[in-house]
């Protein structure tokens, strides 16, 4: 989804449904910012996430030749390019956790 469409979708959700939580989360380890909106939607309790993170340019794997040696992966991030991920989740009462919905099936 194009980044310019996110504000439009947020406003549409706010005007059409009861929003009960809206906040930002920041994950320093993964270098990502997540904008979250939780609302009562057509499938019950729902959540939309807009995730922004730096573009991964490459990764460097470090390992030793010894048996049982540690393996590490260092990612190389772009300083000026970012990627966006859009997720829609619904609350699953049986598992008592969020379950992702395929956004393409909703026609957004």
Low-confidence ranges of the chain (pLDDT < 70): 68, 103-108
Does residue 16 fall inside a structural domain?
Answer: yes
Domain housing 22? 5-54+81-106
Strand order in the sheet with 18-27: 18-27, 32-41, 44-63, 71-92, 97-101
| The pLDDT of residue 106 | 61
Does residue 87 fall inside a structural domain?
Answer: yes
Does residue 70 fall inside a structural domain?
Answer: no
pTM for the full predicted model:
0.77
Number of compact structural domains in the chain: 1
């Amino acid at each position: 989804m194009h980044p310019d469409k996110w504000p439009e979708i947020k406003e549409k959700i706010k005007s059409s449904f009861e929003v009960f939580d809206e906040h930002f989360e920041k994950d320093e380890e993964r270098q990502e910012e997540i904008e979250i909106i939780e609302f009562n939607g057509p499938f019950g309790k729902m959540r939309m996430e807009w995730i922004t993170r730096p573009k991964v340019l490459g990764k460097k794997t470090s390992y030793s030749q010894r048996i049982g040696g540690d393996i590490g992966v260092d990612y190389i991030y772009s300083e000026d390019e970012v990627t966006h991920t859009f997720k829609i989740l619904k609350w699953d009462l049986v598992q008592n956790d969020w379950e992702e919905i395929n956004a393409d099936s909703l026609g957004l």
